[in-house]
Structure 1
Amino acid sequence: MAAPVLRGLVLAGGRSERMQTDKGKLHYHALDQRQHTAALLGEFCPDVRVSVRPDQAADLPAGLKPLPDTFLNLGPLGGLLSAFQADPNAAWLVLACDLPFLTRHTLEFLVTHRQPARAATALKSPWNDFPEPLVTIWEPRSYGQLLRFLSLGYSCPRKALINSDIELLEPPVPAELRNVNTPEERAQAEKELIG
């Protein structure tokens, strides 16, 4: 049986309250993080969308395809459910836009070890051994499970992964899963990445 097509989803619809500026617009590489993350996904996915709040869609740089949230005020889960609503038969490789250390190497590892028969293929967080939901391939069969968790009052995608049949992988380079959420973390990341 053929594996479902793999589409890419950049999660860029957050309010970035701790950062005090839009994390998707930050530059650690030649492009802003929305563009950089979409370019990484584009190496593995024929179609890449950027999950945004409806009011952000017009603000995306040229060349990026917005996927406005239809499930509002649910954080990353809202973006993921909106992606499945747009194409419930696809698997979605989901990446947060605040992962400036992530490289092609880690994504290639994730895609190579994908298990389409399971609900998802995820990397284990190096900080707490739980699945990292925002660097995960979510298979079509996880859509119904996510809706069920939401109906029970859970909006945390990590909880859904913990309670589902998933493939959990040790990340090849754990430090690449480090996300950047505050001005202090941003300054440190810039020092390390830009020099």
Structure 2
Amino acid sequence: MTTAEDKLHRKHAALARPDMGDFGRNELGILGAPCGVIRNCTSRWLKLLGSKWKIAYVDADHQDGRTSDDTMDGCALEFTDKISYKRVDFKADTNTFTNRALFNDQDLVLINSNHFKARKQIVIIHPDKPLNQKLEKLTDVALILVSDDYEVPDFIRNYLPNINSIPVLNLNDEARIMAFLEIFLSENVTPVNGLILAGGKSTRMQGDKGSIAYHGKTQRAYMYDMLSELCGKVYLSDNVETVYDTIEDTFIGLGPLGGILSAMQTDPNVAWLTVACDLPYLTIETLNLLIKRRNPSKLATAFWDSEGKFPEPLITIWEPRAYAVMLQFLAQGYSCPRKILINTDVELLTAPNVSEFRNINTPEERDEALRFFRKENHSF
């Protein structure tokens, strides 16, 4: 029997969802020790990892230690520029959805799991906080830490079916703990898919730019083959029927941003290398450099443009975290990918040859490029 509630639920769009916990994509909850021990450990780890990765810490303080001078009475949200850092105090309830937005930019969220749950756990064996009554919190243990005088108790060994595959380190062995965290972060860097932006109207060209054969094959085929050597999967953002996997625009009338957002809506759990179709001079060596120099801790990795003044938005690796940020810009009335790159934390590279960024928009530019590649091919 189908209930009214079932029918109502089926009206919701079946959207692909980011693979996230309550706070972020990568969460490690620390439990099994008093809060002070957890905070001291986390503080040391952050000092060693914070220069390379963006790491957040989640904890609870049940004592309101603020003085009357700390916040403005009656203020719902207070932003304070503390010069060396920024602080935001607000009086509002939070939930999973608001937390994910708040922690969107973080590579890793370390969580005091005495107070909050996390997707994966680091267990500390400590006499003052035994876990025999809290085993249900151990949903996916990634690491166990013990001090010199303690071992992993039998009740934990018996509870965890994969205990033999879980690393056990000394609580004071920071070198190995750092190595574990580095490996954990590296293994959780998302793969890269390719997206060829070929959905423009080609008004100035007065014809389909993707069907022009500069390299003995259509430009669509040339770009598809090139990206296939570098990416796990490759798709076309196109408005014509092709033999290639295509992502149809679900964000209409937004130009390149619509194609990028549509790809991210299709799969929000990968990074997207987006390349405009009308770049016949672009080489695989330049794209390979972009892949090798990718910084997954940033919103995106891109090149400076041909003048070295602004980011080049249409040869860019967009990280999964860029999806939410793009939607924020769109909500404020901006649909320019370059504006997003200018106003966010991105990795910018100097291209080996900026002449490769010449795009073809007119019949005159098309004919010039065809003569160039015809001459180049005859020179071999």
TM-score by length of 2: 0.49
Give, in whole Å, the separation in 1 of the partners of 2:211 and 2:276: 13
Matches within 5 A, 1:60-99: 60=242, 62=243, 64-99=244-279
Counterpart of 2:228? 42
CA RMSD of aligned residues (A): 0.9
Separation in structure 2 between the aligned mates of residue 65 and residue 182 of structure 1, nearest angstrom: 27
Larger radius of gyration: 2
| Alignment equivalent of 1:104, drawn from 276, 284, 308 | 284
Alignment of 1:5-44 (within 5 A): 5-44=191-230
Matched, 1:173 2:353: yes
**Structure 1 position 78, deviation (Å):** 0.3
Amino acid at match of 1:102: L
CA distance in 1, matches of 2:259, 2:307: 24
Instruction: Output one character per residue of 1:25-71: Cα deviation in whole Å (capped at 9) or x when no partner.
Output: 11101211111111111011110000023xx2xx21x3x10111000
Equivalent AA in structure 1 for residue 198 of structure 2: A
* Pairing 1:185–2:371 present: no
- The answer to whether residue 306 in structure 2 is matched with residue 120 in structure 1 is no
**CA distance, structure 1, for counterparts of residue 356 and residue 264 of structure 2:** 26
Residue number in structure 1 paired with 2:189:
3
Equivalent-residue separation in structure 2 for 1:129 and 1:180 (angstroms): 21
Residue aligned with 1:116, SS = coil
Q: Which amino acid aligns with 1:39?
A: D
Shift of 1:187: 1.0
Return 128-137 or 97-106, whichever deviates more. Answer: 128-137
How far 1:142 sits from its partner (Å)? 0.7
Letter of the structure 2 residue corresponding to residue 184 of structure 1: E
Runs of 4+ in 1 over 2 A off after TM superposition: none
Tell which has more relative contact order, 1 or 2 (C-alpha 8 A, sep 6+): 1
Please give the TM-score of this superposition, normalised by the length of structure 1.
Answer: 0.94
CA distance in 2, matches of 1:173, 1:142: 27
2:339 aligned to which of 130, 137, 159? 159
Q: How many corresponding residue pairs?
A: 189
**CA–CA distance in structure 2, aligned partners of residues 173 and 105 of structure 1:** 10
Percent identity of paired positions between Structure 1 and Structure 2: 51
The secondary structure found in structure 1 opposite 2:330 is helix
What is residue 309 of structure 2 aligned with on the other side? 129
What's the offset of the Cα at 1:174?
1.1
- Provide the residue aligned with 2:374 in structure 1: 194
The amino acid that maps onto 2:195 is L
State the partner residue of 2:78.
Answer: none
Q: Return the letter of the residue paired with 2:339.
A: K
Q: State the Cα distance separating 1:128 from its structure 2 match.
A: 5.2
AA matched with 1:117: S
| Residue 129 of structure 1: how far off its partner (Å) | 1.9
Shift of 1:127: 2.8
